[in-house]
């Protein structure tokens, strides 16, 4: 028996850090598996029941990453995400202080270094005869004095400003692990250590006079400064990638106004209980999920559905936490609070998606596992080659440049930043992606199979046509039918009642209501027996020829037609149809324009399904099929080499959703459908499918760009830093240039991923 544990891990700055934490956790007793995400500062551990979570946290903390248990589950998701963002901002401020000090020290350090190229003058200084005790000592020149200043400036710059880098590398070495900080620390240490030895050596007695090796205090200082700058920019950009997460946290109002007796009290949302009456004033956000008990208003639900048009709310309608009350006062009876709200579920899904890994990232994971050790080998070979050639000074410069330029941070950021930005942007449009694997699968689909009801159509029948009998007024026909259907729960009856309300047709009280399954309903309306149903049920005699022809035409068009009668005489025919969603035809055309094949699968009557497909512009139709039939259709397409996305909203769609390469569930449908899918749409319609696929394709394209950049940067940068061009140009990059390239590479990956934020603007 296993359980899922969560840990809050601080101090991780790259994928190598996450890999180190993963290795530590997987080595602990009772741990089956561990997934670590440095972007969200979270570790998810699958361990045997009863595992000591505090012991796991201690093990990771001893490895150099402060860790503590984190409350798991949806209840703490919003607050936990806010905590992650708050910690990142504290880190940003701390980095900012160190960066500011580094800049203040580095500027004069570089200026002094540029004006003095050697520690000691190459000239021989005459020995002062009056001071024979100085015989054999080199006398300090003005250039020597400048290097004293370089040493003084570089000590606090390297040891205080660069302390986080040095400490992380030391902790990694103690645990026999290596990461980005290892490379930076070795580069900084080599430049500063060599220069310090040369500087101190200048005070030792020495026979004669000779030129002294060059020092590289400025290289160590610039590496620290640029590393801090790069990390500050990365942290700042990463905070921007959490915009959607932070937005979700901010949607949860901290205080709710609850009606207790005759008083209204403002209490923390965490203290609201089921059954409480929550008062939501105009301009306030709803703090809980539940039905409207009193009042009427327009509510902005765009944070859930991506639709900007406010939704009318009346008593009995469902209200959701985080939505904005844009009209009158509403009183909502709390049904789901805290962890149970839809907002908490959305936040949990976004968090889990952002912490997931896409299959495309497997190559980067494999490379990151051995990359640091490979770079250490290249650096050692570089120094050995230059030393063998008789130029150890240049060898030191090239070795430091190799260690610094090979920073694997860009490689580690390539996938998680893109997934984080994309899933956040998708959530803003009412599209919830359950993970990186689903996102990648969605990007690769070439075929979309659509369920009909609730996806292509509204799933809510509406009156399509009314044909009155000779001498009967249209309004009288609708009034009689609506009066009889007022007590009915059948979707056809509800459609007729809604039509009467929309047309302003009056209804009367119905007595002796009776419903006959498969036939129709009857009631006494204004002292007449009104029937609505099949011709055999509604009429005492034959159906008039004009009405019989009308029924045939409506049925041929895929609509359901019922006869309305009074005391056995026909009043007319009303046809009802499931209306096509407003964006269906345009969205299907968009899918086809994007190169996707579109099919529709429905359990409805073939004539009805064919009409809907024609109206939507869908050529391939499968109708009258059972749930297992939909799954077989998906299986057949996959067997033919197609990559299939199945879109549905009902229990009957769940098998096909699970069978497809990626299932897309309409969130207004059944929970079992959402559980079987990899993507959940919070609004009806094919338009969400178009948006989801386009976001997924853009994300995969961005990940590939990031990986190509990261691999290409290292493939070019490492040989250049090692001095491969020396035989042709006698040029090698300085450690300062390597540090700048390292910072630019990481920031470029993050900025490229941030371009995906454009999808958040619906």
In this structure, the number of other CB atoms found within 10 A of the CB of residue 327 comes to 16
Give the span between the Cα atoms of 615 and 588, in whole angstroms. 11
Take residue 296 and report the two structure tokens written for it: 């009427």
Take residue 597 and report the two structure tokens written for it: 């094949």
CB 414 within 8 A of CB 422: no
Which tens digits make up the pLDDT trace of 405-451?
776 667 767 777 788 788 888 887 888 887 778 888 899 999 999 98
- Give the relative orientation of helices 584-593 and 606-616 as an angle to the nearest 10 degrees: 70
Task: Please report the pLDDT score of residue 235 as a whole number.
Answer: 73
Say if residue 443 is in the same domain as residue 514: no
Say if 417 falls within a structural domain: no
> What CATH number is given to the structural domain containing 325?
2.70.150.10
Q: What is the mean pLDDT of residues 23-43?
A: 82
> What CATH number is given to the structural domain containing 467?
3.40.1110.10
pLDDT at 343 over 90: no
Residues paired with 278 in a beta bridge = 258, 332
Say if residue 603 is in the same domain as residue 518: no
Nearest Cα to Cα of residue 612 among 753, 427, 455, 435: 455
SS3 label, residue 417: helix
pLDDT at 112 over 80: yes
Measured over the CA atoms of residue 550, residue 553, residue 557 and residue 561, the dihedral's sign is positive
Say if 490 falls within a structural domain: yes
In this structure, the number of other CB atoms found within 10 A of the CB of residue 366 comes to 10
CB 612 within 8 A of CB 457: yes
- Give the relative orientation of helices 362-388 and 180-201 as an angle to the nearest 10 degrees: 20
Q: Of residues 451, 578, 649, 661, which has the active-site annotation?
A: 451
SS3 label, residue 449: strand
Give the span between the Cα atoms of 478 and 6, in whole angstroms. 60
Task: Please report the pLDDT score of residue 525 as a whole number.
Answer: 92
- The residues, ordered by sequence, that sit 6+ positions from 415 with a Cβ below 8 Å of its Cβ are 357, 358, 360, 361, 364, 436, 703, 706, 707
Give the span between the Cα atoms of 397 and 732, in whole angstroms. 9
Say if residue 495 is in the same domain as residue 541: yes
CB 249 within 8 A of CB 76: no
Say if residue 545 is in the same domain as residue 629: no
63-99 burial string, b = 16+ CB within 10 Å, else e?
Answer: bbbebeebebebbbbbbbbbebbeebeebbeebeebb
Say if 504 falls within a structural domain: yes
* Least confident piece of the model among 46-55, 594-603, 698-707: 46-55
In this structure, the number of other CB atoms found within 10 A of the CB of residue 556 comes to 10
pLDDT at 712 over 70: yes
> What CATH number is given to the structural domain containing 598?
3.40.50.1000
Task: Considering only residues 246 and 754, tell me which one the structure prediction assigns the higher pLDDT.
Answer: 754
Say if 320 falls within a structural domain: yes
Separation in Å, CA 303 to CA 367, 430, 530:
39, 7, 46
Say if residue 556 is in the same domain as residue 466: yes
> What CATH number is given to the structural domain containing 53?
3.30.70.100
For 590-724, list the strands marked E by DSSP.
597-601, 620-622, 644-648, 662-666, 679-681
- The residues, ordered by sequence, that sit 6+ positions from 215 with a Cβ below 8 Å of its Cβ are 119, 147, 150, 194, 195, 198, 199
Task: Please report the pLDDT score of residue 124 as a whole number.
Answer: 35
The answer to whether 451 is a known catalytic residue is yes
- The residues, ordered by sequence, that sit 6+ positions from 450 with a Cβ below 8 Å of its Cβ are 456, 598, 599, 600, 601, 618, 647, 648, 686, 689
Its domain, for residue 50, covers 2-72
Say if 125 falls within a structural domain: no
Task: Please report the pLDDT score of residue 357 as a whole number.
Answer: 58
* Least confident piece of the model among 50-54, 114-118, 183-187, 605-609: 114-118
Give the span between the Cα atoms of 289 and 285, in whole angstroms. 11
Task: Please report the pLDDT score of residue 131 as a whole number.
Answer: 40
Please name the residue ranges forming H helices in 517-626. Answer: 535-538, 545-556, 584-593, 606-616
Task: Please report the pLDDT score of residue 246 as a whole number.
Answer: 61
Burial bucket for residue 497 (CB in 10 Å: 0-12, 13-18, 19+): buried
Say if residue 590 is in the same domain as residue 527: no
Task: Considering only residues 377 and 14, tell me which one the structure prediction assigns the higher pLDDT.
Answer: 377
Give the span between the Cα atoms of 271 and 278, in whole angstroms. 12
CB 716 within 8 A of CB 376: no
* Least confident piece of the model among 130-144, 373-387, 472-486, 649-663: 130-144
SS3 label, residue 288: coil
Task: Please report the pLDDT score of residue 127 as a whole number.
Answer: 38
Task: Please report the pLDDT score of residue 387 as a whole number.
Answer: 87
Cα 287 from chain centroid (whole Å): 24
Task: Considering only residues 513 and 461, tell me which one the structure prediction assigns the higher pLDDT.
Answer: 513
Say if 721 falls within a structural domain: no
Give the span between the Cα atoms of 315 and 675, in whole angstroms. 30
Q: What length does the chain have?
A: 762
Take residue 421 and report the two structure tokens written for it: 């930005």
Picking from 682, 700, 716, the residue at the C-terminal end of a domain is: 682
CB 442 within 8 A of CB 645: yes
Give the span between the Cα atoms of 383 and 396, in whole angstroms. 6
Picking from 41, 72, 103, the residue at the C-terminal end of a domain is: 72
* 74 confidence band (pLDDT: 50, 70, 90): very low
Say if residue 479 is in the same domain as residue 570: yes
Which tens digits make up the pLDDT trace of 513-546?
988 876 889 999 999 999 998 888 888 888 888 8
Picking from 523, 553, 580, the residue at the C-terminal end of a domain is: 580
Task: Considering only residues 730 and 82, tell me which one the structure prediction assigns the higher pLDDT.
Answer: 730
Q: What is the mean pLDDT of residues 477-500?
A: 88
Give the span between the Cα atoms of 694 and 423, in whole angstroms. 12
Give pTM, 2 decimals. Answer: 0.64
Say if residue 548 is in the same domain as residue 592: no
Strands 67-70 and 31-37, sheet pairing: unpaired
Say if residue 557 is in the same domain as residue 503: yes
Say if residue 462 is in the same domain as residue 576: yes
Give the span between the Cα atoms of 191 and 215, in whole angstroms. 8
Say if 533 falls within a structural domain: yes
Please tell me the number of Cα atoms within 13 Å of 739 on its side-chain side. Answer: 26
Residues paired with 6 in a beta bridge = 44, 70
The whole-chain average pLDDT of the chain stands at 80
Separation in Å, CA 511 to CA 487, 497, 521, 528, 530:
10, 16, 12, 10, 10
Say if residue 587 is in the same domain as residue 655: yes
CB 69 within 8 A of CB 6: yes
Task: Please report the pLDDT score of residue 365 as a whole number.
Answer: 58
- The residues, ordered by sequence, that sit 6+ positions from 231 with a Cβ below 8 Å of its Cβ are 13, 95
Say if residue 619 is in the same domain as residue 573: no
Task: Please report the pLDDT score of residue 581 as a whole number.
Answer: 85
Task: Please report the pLDDT score of residue 519 as a whole number.
Answer: 80
Which tens digits make up the pLDDT trace of 547-586?
989 888 887 777 888 899 999 899 999 998 877 888 889 9
SS3 label, residue 644: strand
Say if 200 falls within a structural domain: no
**Run of H or E residues at 464:** strand 457-468
Task: Count how many domains the chain has.
Answer: 4
């Amino acid at each position: 028996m296993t359980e899922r544990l969560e840990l809050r891990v601080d101090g991780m700055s790259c994928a190598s850090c996450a890999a180190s934490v993963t290795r530590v956790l997987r080595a602990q007793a009772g741990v089956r598996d561990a997934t670590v995400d440095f972007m969200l500062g979270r570790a998810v551990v699958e361990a045997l029941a009863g595992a000591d979570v505090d012991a796991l946290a201690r093990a990771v903390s001893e490895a150099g990453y402060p860790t503590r248990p984190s409350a798991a589950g949806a209840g703490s998701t919003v607050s936990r995400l806010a905590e992650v963002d708050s910690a990142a901002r504290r880190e940003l401020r701390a980095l900012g202080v160190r960066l500011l000090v580094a800049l203040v020290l580095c500027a004069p350090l570089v200026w002094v270094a540029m004006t003095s190229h050697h520690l000691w003058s190459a000239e021989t200084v005459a020995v002062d005869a009056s001071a024979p005790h100085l015989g054999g000592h080199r006398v300090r020149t003005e250039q020597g004095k400048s290097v004293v200043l370089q040493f003084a400036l570089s000590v606090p710059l390297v040891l205080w400003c660069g302390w986080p880098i040095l400490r992380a590398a030391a902790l990694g070495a103690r645990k026999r692990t290596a990461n980005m900080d290892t490379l930076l620390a070795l580069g900084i240490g080599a430049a500063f250590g060599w220069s310090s030895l040369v500087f101190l050596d200048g005070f030792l007695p020495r026979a004669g006079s000779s030129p002294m090796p060059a020092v590289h205090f400025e290289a160590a200082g610039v590496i620290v400064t640029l590393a801090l700058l790069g990390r500050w920019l990365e942290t700042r950009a990463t905070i921007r990638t959490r915009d959607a997460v932070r937005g979700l946290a901010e949607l949860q109002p901290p205080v709710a106004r609850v009606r207790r007796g005759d008083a209204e009290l403002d209490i923390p949302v965490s203290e609201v209980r089921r059954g409480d009456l929550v008062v939501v004033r105009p301009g306030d956000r709803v703090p809980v999920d539940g039905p409207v008990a009193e009042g009427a208003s327009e509510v902005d639900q765009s944070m859930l559905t991506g639709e900007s048009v406010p939704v009318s709310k009346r008593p009995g309608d469902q209200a959701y936490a985080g939505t904005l009350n844009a009209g009158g006062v509403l009183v909502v009876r709390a049904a789901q609070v805290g962890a149970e709200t839809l907002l908490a579920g959305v936040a949990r899904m976004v968090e889990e998606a952002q912490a997931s890994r896409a299959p495309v990232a497997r190559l980067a994971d494999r490379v990151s596992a051995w990359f640091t050790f490979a770079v250490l080998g290249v650096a050692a070979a570089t120094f050995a080659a230059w030393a063998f050639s008789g130029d150890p000074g240049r060898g030191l410069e090239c070795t430091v440049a190799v260690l610094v330029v090979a920073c694997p941070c860009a490689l580690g950021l390539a996938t998680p930043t893109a997934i984080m930005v994309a899933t956040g942007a998708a959530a803003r449009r009412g599209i919830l992606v359950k993970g990186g694997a689903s996102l990648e699968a969605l990007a690769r689909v070439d075929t979309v199979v659509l369920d009909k009801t609730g996806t292509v159509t509204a799933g809510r029948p509406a009156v399509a046509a009314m044909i009155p009998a000779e001498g009967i007024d249209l309004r009288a026909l609708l009034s009689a039918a609506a009066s009889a259907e007022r007590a009915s729960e059948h979707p056809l009856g509800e459609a007729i009642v809604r039509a009467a309300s929309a047309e302003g047709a009056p209804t009367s009280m119905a007595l002796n209501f009776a419903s006959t399954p498969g036939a129709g309903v009857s009631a006494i309306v204004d002292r007449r027996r009104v029937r609505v149903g099949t011709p055999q049920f509604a009429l005492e005699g034959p159906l008039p020829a004009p009405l019989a022809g009308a029924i045939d035409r409506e049925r041929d068009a895929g609509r359901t037609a019922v006869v309305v009668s009074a005391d056995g005489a026909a009043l007319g025919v009303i046809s009802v149809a499931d209306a096509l969603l407003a964006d269906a035809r345009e969205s299907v055309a968009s899918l086809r324009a994007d190169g996707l094949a579109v099919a529709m699968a429905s359990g409805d009557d073939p004539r009805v399904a064919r009409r809907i497909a024609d109206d939507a512009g869908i050529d391939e139709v499968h109708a009258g099929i059972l749930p297992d039939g939909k799954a077989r259709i998906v299986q057949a397409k996959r067997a033919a080499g197609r990559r299939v996305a199945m879109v549905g909203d009902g229990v009957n769609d769940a098998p096909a959703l699970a069978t497809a390469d990626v299932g897309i569930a309409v969130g207004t449908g059944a929970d079992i459908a959402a559980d079987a899918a990899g993507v959940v749409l919070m609004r009806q319609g094919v338009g969400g499918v178009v948006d989801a696929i386009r976001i997924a394709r853009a994300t995969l394209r961005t990940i590939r760009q990031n990986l190509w950049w990261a691999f290409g940067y290292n493939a070019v940068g490492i040989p250049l830093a090692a001095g491969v061009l020396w035989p042709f140009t006698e040029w090698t990059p300085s450690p300062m240039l390597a540090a700048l390239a390292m910072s630019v590479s990481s920031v470029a990956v993050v900025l490229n991923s941030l371009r995906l934020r454009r999808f958040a603007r619906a």
